Amino acid sequence: MTAPPEDGRIRRREALIRLLRLGGVTAFAGGMGVWLSSRSHRPEETLPLISKRNSSVPADPSLPEMVIAQGDDPRALVRNALEELGGIRRFIARGDVVLVKPNIGWDRTPEQAANTNPAVVAEVVRLCQSAGAARVVVTDVSCNEPRRCFERSGIATAASAEGAVLTLPEERKFREVDLRGDVLRAWPVFEPFLSADKIINIPIAKHHSLTGATLGMKNWYGILGGQRQRLHQHIHESLVDLAEFMRPTLTILDAYRVLLRNGPTGGNLEDVAFKKTLLASTDPVAVDAYAAKAYWDLDYHKLPYLKLAMDRGLGTVKFETVRTRVLTL
């Protein structure tokens, strides 16, 4: 496909950013859809060498690479976005073990927007079940006490009601693996992430006090055990190491409620904005770059992990160039 002229890309970029900043369902007419287009030493040889987890699906040039859906019903946003991307059966085959990875890091309610919206998680589980998944596991390695996080977030109740297997992070379920990254090497990884056939990343869009924003790639911190705070010394490099290790089948960014300030834990409802938006994409870099720019005016100069990820072939920071479908429900 021939690249659009530079002025066309700039106009498209500005239109996309305006869309997310406005939020709600006011940006486009109802039902309208538009195309937009040096590693250091290795761990000891006794460590198991785990192949990188690439569960992505083949590209299809007839389909969008990203869908932006806006409307009042989070579950309808999920259904319609995935249908535009080719339907759930493009991503999930009968008999698959599917790992659904929301953000369940914090002892917060859905209204505080520190964790993924439970209705979004529940609808993803339902769709995977409808595609014939053998098992749908919902899990995260929480920062606060896990059982409390799973319950208070509303995710345990919502996902269980759709038949998901809720798996709490227990120490015995971590495996020390060689992540083979530039800064991440030997590290304990939660075992369900190593055994699933398909992996769907469902982060929430929110502010982060260290990086400025936490989105899809930052959500991969939730596969690790150990002292994760140590990774903050090289946060951008470690984020890209994780993104390269764990290439998802699909990224679904929950921006129904967006925590604009005082993240990642939040707590004050005044920091939360209703954007009533969901982004689904096969390009994990583009979706992060888009949301970071639209909600916090951050680009790859301020979020170096975006450019590092693009340089490793994980996606593009030029979100205005990807095939994009916009829906208002």
Residue 45 pLDDT > 70, yes or no?
A: no
| Six token digits for residue 277 | 């938006």
Q: Dump the DSSP string for 248-312.
A: -SEEEEEEEEEE-SSTTT---GGGEEEEEEEEEES-HHHHHHHHHHHHH---TTT-HHHHHHHHT
pLDDT by residue (tens digit) across 79-130? 999 999 999 999 999 999 999 999 999 999 999 999 999 999 999 999 999 9
Least confident of 34-48, 83-97, 114-128, 302-316: 34-48
Backbone dihedral region for residue 161 (phi beyond 0: left; psi -120 to 50: alpha; all else: beta): alpha
Q: Give the whole-angstrom CA distance, residue 65 versus residue 53.
A: 20
Q: Give the whole-angstrom CA distance, residue 35 versus residue 62.
A: 11
pLDDT band at 31 (very low <50, low <70, confident <90, very high): very low
State mean pLDDT over 32-60.
Answer: 61
Catalogue all structural domains in the chain, each as residue range(s) with its CATH number: 6-28+63-328 (3.40.50.11440)
Helix (H) or strand (E) holding 205: strand 204-206
| Six token digits for residue 95 | 């008999």
The SS3 assignment for 240 reads: helix
Q: What is the pLDDT of residue 53?
A: 83
DSSP label of 277: E
The SS3 assignment for 181 reads: coil
More confident call, 2 vs 17: 17
For residue 43, list its beta bridge partners.
none
| Contacts by 2-10, CB closer than 8 A, 24 or more apart | 3/321, 4/37, 4/321, 9/318, 9/320, 9/321, 10/320
CB 278 within 8 A of CB 120: yes
State mean pLDDT over 193-217.
Answer: 97
The SS3 assignment for 255 reads: strand
- CA-nearest of 327, 282, 286, 294 to 34 is 327
State mean pLDDT over 140-160.
Answer: 98
Neighbours of 222 (CB within 10 A): 23
pTM of the model: 0.92
pLDDT by residue (tens digit) across 155-179? 999 999 999 999 999 999 999 999 9
pLDDT band at 305 (very low <50, low <70, confident <90, very high): very high
Owner of token pair 């520190």? 114
Sign of CA dihedral 290, 291, 294, 297: negative
pLDDT band at 254 (very low <50, low <70, confident <90, very high): very high
Q: Give the whole-angstrom CA distance, residue 52 versus residue 49.
A: 9
Residue 47 pLDDT > 60, yes or no?
A: no
Residues 6+ apart with CB under 8 A from 158: 118, 119, 121, 122
The SS3 assignment for 243 reads: helix
